[in-house]
Amino acid sequence: MINSNKPESKLDPNLRARLLQESQNPFRGLRRAVWIALFGSAALGFFIMFSKIITGDTVSIFDFGVQTSALIILGFLLFKDRNKSEKD
């Protein structure tokens, strides 16, 4: 006997799976792009400050701490937002 409460879906199973995944994790692609851009910016700032320290220039320890913290936090967020296996 056919279940009459559930209409037959004409969607491709792959498309359906992608749509379900997107509904569970909205704007994931945009969010990853933002994390990557911000992480790249923090890494570039850290590299510039570190190269100034190596050449003997003075850099405020507070500024260096903020840059290091930003690099660590954004790296963690990027790592946390990675693809996870289906075995969750």
pLDDT (tens digit per residue) in 21-46: 778 778 888 888 999 999 999 999 99
Q: Is it the case that residue 87 has pLDDT exceeding 50?
A: no
What does the buried/exposed string (b/e) look like for 9-42 if buried means 16 or more CB atoms within 10 Å of the residue's CB? Answer: eeeeeeeeeeeeeeeeeeeeeeeeeebeebbeeb
Positive/negative CA dihedral, 37, 42, 46, 49: positive
Model's pTM, two decimal places?
0.69
Instruction: Tell me what the mean pLDDT of segment 8-25 comes to.
Output: 79
Q: Is it the case that residue 51 has pLDDT exceeding 80?
A: yes
Query: Which has more confidence, 55 or 84?
Result: 55
